[in-house]
Amino acid sequence: MSLITPDFGLLVWMTLIFGIVFFVLAKWGFPLITGMVDKRSDRINKSIAEAHEAEKMLSDLAGRQERMIEETRREQARILKEAADARDKLIADAKEQARDEASKLIEEARTRIAAEKESALRDIRTEVAGLSVDVAEKVLREKLSTDEAQLALIDKMIGEVTASKPN
């Protein structure tokens, strides 16, 4: 018996055994194998769908993150602008207050200077008047040292007063 050219009986038995094995495999083996393949295929498809859904969620999250970042930047810019405006307003108010204070101080200084000037002029006038009276007194004492000079001055003054008075 040769394996390359088998006998007719061997071919029949091999065909019969092949049929039985094929029948057993077709009845119980192939459905189990195709069921497992189908389950694996379903699991792979489900995993692919979940991966697509996760990718979509990630892209949505990335979009929301970009929107939040942009909104945060706008809010930051608004806050910085408000802070700059507040700073500028404070500086302007401080400058205005400093100008007002300076004007008040200058006006007070001018008032004090004017008062001091008036006081000094009054003092000078009083001093000049006192000196003038002293000088006049000394001059009159010298001129009116005699009784006759005194009487002549009195007569002269009375004459001036009567002449200037209208009757």
What is the per-residue pLDDT for 73? 96
Domain range annotation of the chain: 9-124
144 burial level (CB within 10 Å; 0-12, 13-18, 19+): middle
Confidence of residue 2 (pLDDT cuts 50, 70, 90): low
Higher pLDDT, 55 or 141: 55
Per-residue pLDDT of 115-153, as tens digits, reads 999 999 999 999 888 888 888 877 777 777 777 877 887
**Average pLDDT of the residues in 101-128:** 93
Which pTM was predicted?
0.42
What is the per-residue pLDDT for 142? 73
**Average pLDDT of the residues in 30-57:** 94
Higher pLDDT, 148 or 110: 110
Q: Give the Cα separation of 124 and 118 in Å (integer).
A: 10
Residue 10's contacts (CB-CB under 8 Å, 6 or more residues apart) are 1
